[in-house]
Amino acid sequence: MGTNNYLVVFSLFLLLPHLTSSKIELVDKGYRNLVIAIHKAVPENPQLIEKIKEMLKEASNYLYVATKFRVFFKDVKILLPDTWTTKPDLYRKATTETYSRANVIIAGQKNSKGDEPYTLQYEGCGKEGRYIHFTPNFLLNDKFIQAYGPRGKVFVHEWAHLRWGVFNEYNEYQPFYRDGEHYRVTKCPKDLSGKVCFGNDCSKCNLENANDPPKEGCVFLPEKYQETSSSIMYTPVVKSVNQFCNKSNHNQDAPNDQNKFCKLKSAWEVILESEDFRNANEATDSGSVEPQFTVMQESQTILCLVLDISGSMSGSQRLERLQQSSTLFIEKIAKEESFIGIVTFNNIAYVKKGLTYVSGDDVRKILVNALPTKAEGGTNICSGIRDAFEVLSEDDGSTEGDEILLLTDGEDSGISSCFEAVKTSGTIVHTIALGPSAAKELEMLSEMTNGKKYYASDNFNSNGLLEAFMELSEEQIQLESTGGTQKPGGSLVGDTYIDSGVGFNTNFLVTWQTNVKPDISISDPDGNKYLTKDFKLEEKATVGTLIIPGKAKTGKWSYRIENTAHQPQSMTISITSQPSGAQSEPVIVKTNLQQTNEPPYTVVIYVEVFKNFMPVRHANVTAIIETANTKIIPVILKDNGAAADLVKDDGIYSSFMTDYDGTGRYNFKVQVSKLHTETKAAAGHTSGAMYVQGYLENGTVHLNPPKPVVVDDEDFPVEDFVRTKSGGTFMVKVVPPANQDVFPPCQITDLSAELLNNTVILAWTAPGDDMDKGTVAEYEIRKSKQAVHLRDNFHNATQINTSSIIPLAAGSREQLLFDLEEEEKVNNSVIFFAVVSRDESLLSSDVSNIAQVVIYHPSPKSRDPDTSNQNRKLTVGLAVSLVTIILCSVLGLIALIINKRNSGMMVLDEEHVRKKLNIVAEA
Ligand SMILES: *[C@@H]1O[C@H](CO)[C@@H](O)[C@H](O)[C@H]1NC(C)=O
Ligand SMILES: *[C@@H]1O[C@H](CO)[C@@H](O)[C@H](O)[C@H]1NC(C)=O
Ligand SMILES: *[C@@H]1O[C@H](CO)[C@@H](O)[C@H](O)[C@H]1NC(C)=O
Ligand SMILES: *[C@@H]1O[C@H](CO)[C@@H](O)[C@H](O)[C@H]1NC(C)=O
Ligand SMILES: *[C@@H]1O[C@H](CO)[C@@H](O)[C@H](O)[C@H]1NC(C)=O
Ligand SMILES: *[C@@H]1O[C@H](CO)[C@@H](O)[C@H](O)[C@H]1NC(C)=O
Ligand SMILES: *[C@@H]1O[C@H](CO)[C@@H](O)[C@H](O)[C@H]1NC(C)=O
């Protein structure tokens, strides 16, 4: 029992970080390289820059105090969009900083949440978040300070989410919780003073009566001036707050995300365990902590293609595919008014085309003509890179902020010889590894320069090379990318959808393999057809393109591509489009992948599906993984709040990947669709600062304007859409032995407990034999009177008989019913539950979240007509004899039970209680 078999050593994958954000460094107490980027659509306003500086100066001081003089912000980069006026004397040219990898973004409103600052955080406790989002409005308008606290302090609240993976200590949906005979405020610490008031009236809200939860509209108003210095993750509105809740004052009972996701640990304990603090002791105040700012601006694209033409490129049709993809890139994807150069290399490098200003089709044609047609010789990647530096310097003598797209299929032992030069050049290097033998260290170049990294196998059908080129464009949204080998006369057929958020510059790109071009037919939603003759066919490359003029019609499009050759050939189609600029923002898909570098060495795939920063729910999301041996493994991703998915319905779809197929580069893309079903974008869960409804100042109530209403889901219908997004490549260095089970079941995170009469009902989502796949062998369920006992000493708690459970397949709902013991039926007492699952190899999961039930016998007094009148009225005609109050509790569901003796007398209606408690159930 409780074996840790999986620790049996198989020393594993050497891991490369999969960076989705700019890497912040901590040197001598100072955070460096923090990138704050302003979105293109934000109107030019130099005042924003000043406000960002003000915020960070205040934040740096506050952070320094909050971390007991351990860290501060040393060097901050503010990245302006290229839509703002260029001021070379004030703004430096950006180098490897980009908006898409910024740590903090300043961008338009998230409709449903207005100007509420938040951090996108979905990997769990102690894990870094993706980015912090502030609206320009929040920075410019001082009215927000009253409700959220000073901006610098709010920044530190968000920073704690982003950097150290801690969570909120308030709970908007459950502001009060039952604690024995009382109700209490969901806050940290317990002694943060204030009053619970209804508007200005602080006499109406009673927390002392377990029979009577605080009524709707009752809110906790903190005292603005008090002694308490915690807690930043509750609210920095209170003047004296400048600390995080720590082990001694943390409130473990509060049903908040911090307790839920961090297993009842205080924020400060989690922070101290972070990489930043593991080796840093409490320090003393020393010197200035004022950040240094560098204001930078994105500039026009200056890119050099660096293409491998070594002998191996002539195999597996690599050179042909290189021509296809780079032709498409130059013809269709490269932006007007950008600069492009072309360098090829084998043993030495050749400048095929110096830096060329892209304007018009003729220039593009000249560039296409410079693409290589012959492959021979060896591989010297660094010679190609050095020549690219020369080319990139042609404009202004500098390579800073310029980009290189490096494509290679060969081994090169000398690749590390130019790492230093690349680092100092300030260029962003994107890499494409083609075929199975490309240099192992290739991706290092991307990682040290914030570049993208791709892998395209030799499988023509998987379309990897074309997808990689497509992803280089920030404007193009990929809708579809698919391929297949067709027999003579066979056809590649399918449908796609163009939603109203996209439609401009819609491109159908068809590739084939032989010199016999296929018969192509595309139908728009009205049945109008585009045929092969409408396609532009490239002379040298086996590729045809069709651009739909104007805005492509919204709706279902169909394609049919017939192989007219006398031999089988592979054909692919890729469809891209650009935002239509209409009011409707397009659905945007982003990928993220995390490999853990300790057993059980899992890979987790995350896909963010947002429309205007709002989560898009109920989409179909599938990751298509292509292994090093070109095996295709589809993985279905879920947004169900179970297994790898932290929060249900937050627009983040997640899954574990456990199917390995050899070592080497894996490549993945995701397909996201929503077809023929109603889907809404909606306000989702976010980690962010609390909107304080008001506060007390020396006893007097000050109310803030009511929080802007969260706009109803109904306002954001999402029409049918399809998206394809390349996730890039990740490296698997060692695979688990084929004959050994190394993956335990994943942790259960959605255990809930309910009490019905004297029966406890536990429910949870089934994990799998290997993380979230397959079926577990057994469950071990235990109970205790103390939550921490289950957390810290699970196997010593009282066991519940689970012999009646036959485990179901991963993802199914499991349930267990059992009766309370006689001695447990004590009024106001609480029982906690947790579960561990095991597979047939006896590998155990982590201890689940902790669920609880509260035993409650209503007082005989509540039979008094005066006090129970309302309840009785509500339940006339109901034959139910007991009460279940479902609280959306971090600790699970709380249930109240009415003693049998009273059962006929008073019945509370669940819906009513929930409303009264202002609670949203989240079963
Ligand atoms: C916890 O925080 C409180 C208030 O911020 C402080 O007084 C106390 O010393 C801290 N305890 C520990 C163990 O750090
Ligand atoms: C997801 O796919 C399934 C099966 O293909 C389909 O029945 C369902 O309608 C799809 N849902 C959405 C939202 O597209
Ligand atoms: C409340 O008390 C604080 C501290 O004693 C003081 O600074 C502040 O001015 C007082 N506020 C009001 C409105 O009296
Ligand atoms: C609860 O117990 C009462 C009395 O024992 C019984 O009449 C009632 O049916 C039970 N309710 C449920 C839902 O089992
Ligand atoms: C387990 O529980 C027993 C009593 O139930 C106690 O004596 C023992 O110390 C506990 N073991 C641990 C490791 O806590
Ligand atoms: C568990 O319950 C089963 C019947 O459901 C029973 O046969 C078994 O003896 C019980 N085990 C224990 C340890 O009580
Ligand atoms: C159970 O406890 C509550 C809260 O203290 C109290 O109001 C109620 O009267 C108690 N029930 C009984 C049967 O004593």
DSSP 903-920: TTT----HHHHHHHHT--
Angstrom distance (rounded) from CA 781 to CA 798: 9
> Residue 738: what pLDDT?
78
At 5, the amino acid letter reads N
Report whether 614 contacts 716 (CB < 8 A).
yes
For range 123-148, the mean pLDDT: 95
Report whether 767 contacts 837 (CB < 8 A).
yes
Helices (H) and strands (E) in the chain — how many of each? 15, 49
Task: Using most ligand atoms within 8 A of CB, pick from 178, 179, 181 the residue to mutate for ligand 7.
Answer: 181
Report whether 196 contacts 131 (CB < 8 A).
no
Q: Which residues contact 800 (CB under 8 A, 6 or more apart)?
A: 781, 782, 783, 816, 818, 833
Tokens of 94: 């950006």
Using DSSP's 3-state secondary structure scheme, residue 209 falls into coil
CA of 757 to the centre of ligand 4 (A): 6
552 lines ligand 7 (CB under 6 A): no
Domain residue extents for the chain: 25-165+274-297, 300-474, 744-923
Using DSSP's 3-state secondary structure scheme, residue 205 falls into coil
Q: Left (φ > 0), alpha (ψ -120 to 50) or beta: where does 107 sit?
A: beta
Closest C-alpha to ligand 2, atom 1 = 620
Q: Which residues contact 109 (CB under 8 A, 6 or more apart)?
A: 115, 135, 137, 613
Catalytic option among 116, 158, 403, 778? 158
CA of 112 to the centre of ligand 3 (A): 36
Residue count of the chain, please give it: 923
Q: Provide the percentage of residues in the chain whose pLDDT is more than 90.
A: 70
Burial of 222 (0-12, 13-18, 19+ CB in 10 A): buried
pLDDT for 66 beyond 60:
yes
CA of 696 to the centre of ligand 3 (A): 10
Task: Using most ligand atoms within 8 A of CB, pick from 785, 789, 796, 799 the residue to mutate for ligand 5.
Answer: 796
At 12, the amino acid letter reads L
For range 579-587, the mean pLDDT: 81
Q: Left (φ > 0), alpha (ψ -120 to 50) or beta: where does 813 sit?
A: beta
Report the 3 state secondary structure along 50-108. Answer: HHHHHHHHHHHHHHHHHCCCCCEECEEEEEECCCCCCCCCCCEECCCCCHHHCCEEECC
> Residue 316: what pLDDT?
85
751 lines ligand 7 (CB under 6 A): no
Report whether 838 contacts 845 (CB < 8 A).
yes
Question: Model confidence at 429, in pLDDT bands (50, 70, 90)?
Answer: very high
Question: Model confidence at 19, in pLDDT bands (50, 70, 90)?
Answer: low
pLDDT for 451 beyond 50:
yes
CATH class of 300-474: alpha beta
For range 735-759, the mean pLDDT: 90
CA-to-CA dists, residue 805 to 243, 542, 832, angstroms:
46, 59, 20
Q: Give kind and range of the element (H or E) at residue 444.
A: helix 442-449
Q: Provide the percentage of residues in the chain whose pLDDT is more than 70.
A: 88
Which residues sit with their C-beta closer than 6 Å to ligand 5?
Answer: 793, 796
For range 458-471, the mean pLDDT: 88
Phi, psi (degrees; rounded to nearest 5) at 294: -125, 120
At 576, the amino acid letter reads T
CATH class of 25-165+274-297: alpha beta
CA of 239 to the centre of ligand 3 (A): 11
Tokens of 120: 């996108």
Please state the atom number of ligand 7 nearest to the C-alpha of residue 902.
13
Q: Which residues contact 888 (CB under 8 A, 6 or more apart)?
A: 173, 174, 255, 919, 920, 921, 922
Angstrom distance (rounded) from CA 156 to CA 689: 10
> Residue 530: what pLDDT?
97
CA-to-CA dists, residue 874 to 396, 418, 911, 918, angstroms:
78, 77, 10, 17
More confident residue, 187 or 462: 187
Please state the atom number of ligand 7 nearest to the C-alpha of residue 211.
7
Asked if residue 189 has a cis previous peptide bond (ω within 30° of 0), the answer is yes
- 608-644 pLDDT, tens per residue? 999 888 889 899 999 999 998 889 999 999 999 999 9
Angstrom distance (rounded) from CA 499 to CA 721: 6
CA-to-CA dists, residue 543 to 329, 439, 760, angstroms:
12, 28, 64
Q: Which residues contact 872 (CB under 8 A, 6 or more apart)?
A: 865, 906, 907
Q: Hey, how many other C-beta atoms are within 10 angstroms of the C-beta on 863?
A: 14
Angstrom distance (rounded) from CA 794 to CA 536: 67
- 655-681 pLDDT, tens per residue? 999 888 888 999 999 999 998 776 666
pLDDT for 111 beyond 60:
no
Strand residues in 553-639 grouped as ranges (E): 555-562, 569-579, 587-595, 603-611, 614-615, 620-626, 632-637
Ligand with minimal distance to 806 CA: 6
Say whether 300-474 and 25-165+274-297 share the same fold: no
pTM of the model: 0.89
- Nearest Cα to 728, choosing from 379, 408, 464, 407? 464
How far from chain centre, in Å, is Cα 155? 20
For range 873-883, the mean pLDDT: 28
Closest C-alpha to ligand 7, atom 9 = 859
> Residue 47: what pLDDT?
97
- 331-356 pLDDT, tens per residue? 888 988 999 999 999 999 999 999 99
Fold of 744-923: Immunoglobulin-like (2.60.40)
- Reply yes or no on whether 394 is catalytic: no
For range 699-727, the mean pLDDT: 81
How far from chain centre, in Å, is Cα 256? 20
> Residue 156: what pLDDT?
98
Q: Hey, how many other C-beta atoms are within 10 angstroms of the C-beta on 10?
A: 16
Q: Which residues contact 669 (CB under 8 A, 6 or more apart)?
A: 467, 481, 623, 624, 724, 725, 726, 727
Burial of 825 (0-12, 13-18, 19+ CB in 10 A): middle
CA of 131 to the centre of ligand 1 (A): 29
Angstrom distance (rounded) from CA 204 to CA 110: 35
pLDDT for 887 beyond 60:
no
- Nearest Cα to 706, choosing from 94, 219, 86? 219
Tokens of 657: 């990947």
Helix axes 318-328, 464-471, angle to 10 degrees: 30
Q: Hey, how many other C-beta atoms are within 10 angstroms of the C-beta on 80?
A: 26
Q: Hey, how many other C-beta atoms are within 10 angstroms of the C-beta on 397?
A: 7
Angstrom distance (rounded) from CA 586 to CA 261: 32
How far from chain centre, in Å, is Cα 886? 29
**Distance from first CA to last CA of the chain, Å, rounded?**
30
Ligand with minimal distance to 798 CA: 5
Beta strand 92-93 pairing with 292-297: parallel
CA-to-CA dists, residue 605 to 149, 308, 536, 563, angstroms:
36, 31, 37, 36
pLDDT for 362 beyond 90:
yes
pLDDT for 120 beyond 50:
yes
Closest C-alpha to ligand 1, atom 7 = 229
Angstrom distance (rounded) from CA 425 to CA 438: 23
Ligand with minimal distance to 800 CA: 6
CA of 697 to the centre of ligand 3 (A): 7
CA of 57 to the centre of ligand 3 (A): 26
Angstrom distance (rounded) from CA 372 to CA 370: 6
> Residue 891: what pLDDT?
32
Burial of 297 (0-12, 13-18, 19+ CB in 10 A): buried
Task: Using most ligand atoms within 8 A of CB, pick from 246, 250, 266 the residue to mutate for ligand 1.
Answer: 246
Tokens of 134: 């502030």
Q: Can you list the alpha helix ranges (DSSP code H) found in 182-317?
A: 257-261, 267-272
Tokens of 741: 């089970």
